[in-house]
Chain A
């Protein structure tokens, strides 16, 4: 059974967002990590770069697959999870916790409304997820 925490928002591209004030922590969902398999490498953006909702900002590689990670919201990267460089498998073991990828300072909090809630995301993945 996929883990889909209620307090998070989700994109159709399988990223999750945790909003605290004007900052959003971003990672990939349990469903996404499970589809990818053993994560072996994460190409992270530089701290301070601007990201745009719907545009690629990171890459997650597994043994037999590679996936572009799209920004669920627009803004400026204010923190990067450098620990993933040494332990990319954290994305598999703790996708919603230690496996976070970046923190983004929101440029337009209004974008959050376009994201799914946990029920909506569960529905999406139940339909095949793609």
Chain B
């Protein structure tokens, strides 16, 4: 069989078998006991030619309501921001995406430099000293931060705000479960996590206090206050942050955070039904050698030319094995590259402008919905681009009406917080136009 991905002709195979000195390919599989060889073809659909496959894939994709046709007001951990054209042009260069990890630095200088520049940008955004080259996503980055805090402090307990993304908290529970770690949840009031609630739970056994800002409800947390109480307990402060919001929010590192993690998807990655995303992870220099994941460092070659290498590898599984700081190997490098290109594209002023557009449009939408009495506000805490409202009709009914107007509505908060049944979490990014926001308001008004 010769196919576009299988270059051998019958003549090639014969020549190779002859060189090996066997009569047939079967002979090479002699080590597999006869009883373990599959004696039938795999029950899979027959091969498709490229044009048949292209049509089939288009048909499948066509069964989904894409954000290309629908105006999206749904966030909750995945954000529909504009992706500058350059991002896909860069990550579509196949030197990048067909490479693997930079184990041979001499022929990987370009990628290593791009990752090092990415680390630098994450440090600049978070206000911390060192960032790794990526983890899987925001939720796993938060769980890894908690594990690292336990290892660094020798303590076995973390205090996490209940206003942290519910999925992140489930992941944290899954990661903590088999390691004998205790997770305590601190309550929120008026949309934000009260210092008093955190203080009540944080004590001498606490390795980390974990807050998210903006939190799951879109509200801003008092990072400085959380840092102070965490440090008073001898714990580390872990902050999960939205990287676009960091265009207008003070760097958590400057407010006392020891570890800053988050979902990097807003930085130039499509929502893509939940992945691949990008877990970014930054920490203080003191914690550098306890960090999970790959880190790129700058050095020189023997002639003094600047170059880059994977560094501090003794932390990692391929060297430290069962004593590694994490078991991570493959990461989300191409997503880091996309994020670096995104941050380069919008640049120093542009990131602030994107964040301000989100902020202003969300506040406009909130004001319209509340002032027109379409729905009621739920929280009073300051917010970024997401906010909760209480609808007169069930959230599902509102969303069904919105869908008929080509709008993807908000998240039903009752699904995660029973006390917030009937409340909807809406998100307004810079991508939403005034016309779309007005259509959202009119449609919701019509169903209320």
With both beta carbons as reference points, the residue of chain B lying nearest to A61 in the complex is identified as B314
Residue B313 lies at the interface, judged by CB distance under 8 Å to chain A: yes
Within A26-47, the residues touching B (CB, 8 Å) are: 40-41, 43
A66 to B320, CA, bound (A): 7
Residue A113 lies at the interface, judged by CB distance under 8 Å to chain B: no
A41 to B314, CA, bound (A): 9
Residue B415 lies at the interface, judged by CB distance under 8 Å to chain A: no
Min distance, Cβ A86 to any Cβ of chain B, angstroms: 14
A2 to B241, CA, bound (A): 53
Q: Is the CB of B319 within 8 A of A65?
A: yes
Residue A81 lies at the interface, judged by CB distance under 8 Å to chain B: no
Min distance, Cβ B142 to any Cβ of chain A, angstroms: 26
Give chain B residues whose Cβ lies under 8 Å from the Cβ of A62.
Answer: 314
Give chain B residues whose Cβ lies under 8 Å from the Cβ of A63.
Answer: 313-314
Residue B13 lies at the interface, judged by CB distance under 8 Å to chain A: no
Min distance, Cβ B103 to any Cβ of chain A, angstroms: 11
Chain A residues with a Cβ closer than 8 Å to the other chain, count: 9
Within B292-345, the residues touching A (CB, 8 Å) are: 313-314, 319-320, 323
Residue B289 lies at the interface, judged by CB distance under 8 Å to chain A: yes
Give chain B residues whose Cβ lies under 8 Å from the Cβ of A65.
Answer: 314, 319
Within A59-73, the residues touching B (CB, 8 Å) are: 61-66
A-B contact pairs, 17 of them (CB 8 A): A40-B314, A41-B289, A41-B314, A43-B289, A61-B314, A62-B314, A63-B313, A63-B314, A64-B313, A64-B314, A64-B319, A65-B314, A65-B319, A66-B314, A66-B319, A66-B320, A66-B323
Interface SS of B by simple majority: helix
List B residues at the A interface (Cβ < 8 Å): 289, 313-314, 319-320, 323
Chain A 53-95: CB-based contact to B (< 8 A → 1; otherwise 0)? 0000000011111100000000000000000000000000000
A109 to B314, CA, bound (A): 35
A85 to B320, CA, bound (A): 20
A63 to B313, CA, bound (A): 7
Min distance, Cβ B153 to any Cβ of chain A, angstroms: 15
Within A6-50, the residues touching B (CB, 8 Å) are: 40-41, 43
- Given A40-B314, A66-B323; 15 other pairs, CB 8 A cutoff: A41-B289, A41-B314, A43-B289, A61-B314, A62-B314, A63-B313, A63-B314, A64-B313, A64-B314, A64-B319, A65-B314, A65-B319, A66-B314, A66-B319, A66-B320
A66 to B312, CA, bound (A): 11
With both beta carbons as reference points, the residue of chain A lying nearest to B319 in the complex is identified as A66
Min distance, Cβ A16 to any Cβ of chain B, angstroms: 23
Give chain A residues whose Cβ lies under 8 Å from the Cβ of B314.
Answer: 40-41, 61-66
With both beta carbons as reference points, the residue of chain A lying nearest to B318 in the complex is identified as A64
With both beta carbons as reference points, the residue of chain B lying nearest to A67 in the complex is identified as B314
Indicate the member of B314, B319, B320, B323 with the most A CB atoms within 10 Å.
B314
Indicate the member of A43, A61, A62 with the most B CB atoms within 10 Å.
A61
Give chain B residues whose Cβ lies under 8 Å from the Cβ of A41.
Answer: 289, 314
Indicate the member of B313, B320, B323 with the most A CB atoms within 10 Å.
B313
- Ranked nearest first, the 8 interchain pairs of A and B with the lowest CB-CB distance are A61-B314, A66-B314, A66-B320, A66-B319, A65-B319, A64-B319, A41-B289, A64-B313
Give chain A residues whose Cβ lies under 8 Å from the Cβ of B313.
Answer: 63-64
Min distance, Cβ A59 to any Cβ of chain B, angstroms: 9
Min distance, Cβ A126 to any Cβ of chain B, angstroms: 27
With both beta carbons as reference points, the residue of chain B lying nearest to A68 in the complex is identified as B323
A31 to B314, CA, bound (A): 20
Give chain A residues whose Cβ lies under 8 Å from the Cβ of B320.
Answer: 66
With both beta carbons as reference points, the residue of chain A lying nearest to B320 in the complex is identified as A66
Min distance, Cβ B185 to any Cβ of chain A, angstroms: 34
A61 to B319, CA, bound (A): 10
A63 to B318, CA, bound (A): 12
With both beta carbons as reference points, the residue of chain B lying nearest to A66 in the complex is identified as B314
